[in-house]
Amino acid sequence: MPTSPGSVTAAELRQRCQAGGEIAIVDAREEGSFHERHLLMASCLPLSRVELMAPGLLPRRSAPVVVCDDGEGLAERAAARLIEGGYTDVSVLAGGVAAWEAAGFPFYSGVHVPSKAFAEVVEHEYGTPWISAEELAERQKRPEPMVIFDSRSYEEYHSNSIPGAVSVPGAELVYRFTEMVPSADTFVVVNCGGRTRSIIGAQSLIDAGVPNRVVSLKDGTMAWHLAGFGVVAGATARAPEVSLKGITAARQRADAVARHYGGMRWCSIMGLGAGSMTPSWSRECRRSPPVFSRSTARSPRPYSRRNCRGNGPSSSIWR
């Protein structure tokens, strides 16, 4: 096992990123500094919280990891801690973000940049329809059937939401759609805090082939608030349980999307317990497999740390 990290230049790191292999880029600065300027695919892993956050961000300890900073020496210290924690392929970006910038490579500011950029590309390429806050407020005054789905987490929705909205997290929109929208005449609005999840949620329903007119709320709850409309604190409206009819419809729509985009299929892995993997995944140790929990806050056995290691935001305690 190595006792010190390797070193990678900005040009070498860019080449590795473009090659398509697995690589984890983490930034050892605190969130404020990270948000001001960082590499596109980097995740914030502050030196002060390496031991707490690394197992969740980097569940496979043989995965290639590159640590960066802005030349303050934080990367070297974080890399040393990762090696102490059992990570076997750790390098430091020589010269940090400053060297990356000096090489002429792009850097970014803000949070969740890759997902936000993805949503903008989706809206541009697919022409995802949207509605403004003012238009939505006018529509709410009419007797026409309409539903507003808040595609954020329930906790975000509960904190502040648009009057009349129902909490339907984005990953559950297609799954719960039949139960929530029995009529094809119902106008469907998908909103979030800003715009990213609104766009992805609306386009997901459109791609799934629902018969309704579906739009995203342009700039989400933020735009609603800035337009001078009131928001609700403490809303509790949630989707009902899904019936067999709803499950069947959701599966048919998911299969249609899979066929359209090249035959991808979802599969359920039964009996996947803590620390276990299917035999085929166990043999494939050269790349980290994504594992998703289907549990929700209302499930009989909600997601917890006891699920499969690597599944979720905090897989294990440093050991």
Question: Both tokens of residue 60?
Answer: 């496979």
pLDDT in tens, the chain (319 residues): 778 999 999 999 999 999 988 999 999 999 999 999 999 989 999 999 999 999 999 999 999 999 999 999 999 999 999 999 999 999 999 999 999 999 999 999 988 888 888 999 999 999 999 999 999 999 999 999 999 999 999 999 999 999 999 999 999 999 999 999 989 999 999 999 999 999 999 999 999 999 999 999 999 999 999 999 999 999 999 999 999 999 999 999 999 898 888 765 554 433 334 444 454 544 455 677 666 555 555 554 444 444 444 433 333 334 4
At residue 293, the pLDDT reads 57
Residue 260 confidence (pLDDT): 83
Helix (H) and strand (E) counts for the chain? 13, 10
Asked if 83 and 4 touch (Cβ cutoff 8 Å), the reply is yes
Q: Which residue has the tokens 């329903």?
A: 205
Query: Across-strand partners of 161?
Result: 232
Give the model's pLDDT for residue 271: 38
b or e along 89-123 (b: 16 or more beta carbons within 10 Å of the residue's beta carbon)?
bbbbbbbbbbbbbeeebeebeeeebeebeebeebb
What are 186's two structure tokens? 């119902």
Q: What token pair was written down for 66?
A: 């590159």
What count of other Cβ atoms lies within 10 Å of the Cβ of residue 34? 24
Torsions phi, psi of 165, nearest 5? Answer: -75, 155
Phi/psi for 87 (5° steps) reads -80, 135
Helix, strand, coil share (%) of the chain residues, nearest 5 = 40, 15, 50
Q: Collapsing DSSP states into helix, strand and coil, what is residue 27?
A: strand
User: In 283-308, which positions are buried (b, 16+ CB within 10 angstroms) versus exposed (e)?
Assistant: eeeeeebebeeeeeeeeeeebeeebb
pLDDT of residue 290: 63
DSSP 269: -
Whole-number Cα distances in Å, 28 to 48, 72, 77, 150, 276? 8, 10, 9, 34, 31
Query: Sheet holding 214-217: strands in order across?
Result: 130-131, 214-217, 187-191, 146-150, 165-167
Say whether 29 sits in a helix, a strand or coil. Answer: coil
- Residue 270's pLDDT is what? 35
Rounded to whole angstroms, how far apart are CA atoms 5 and 25? 14
Spell out the alpha helix ranges (H) of the chain. 10-19, 31-36, 50-57, 74-84, 96-102, 113-126, 133-140, 154-159, 173-180, 196-207, 220-226, 244-260, 279-283
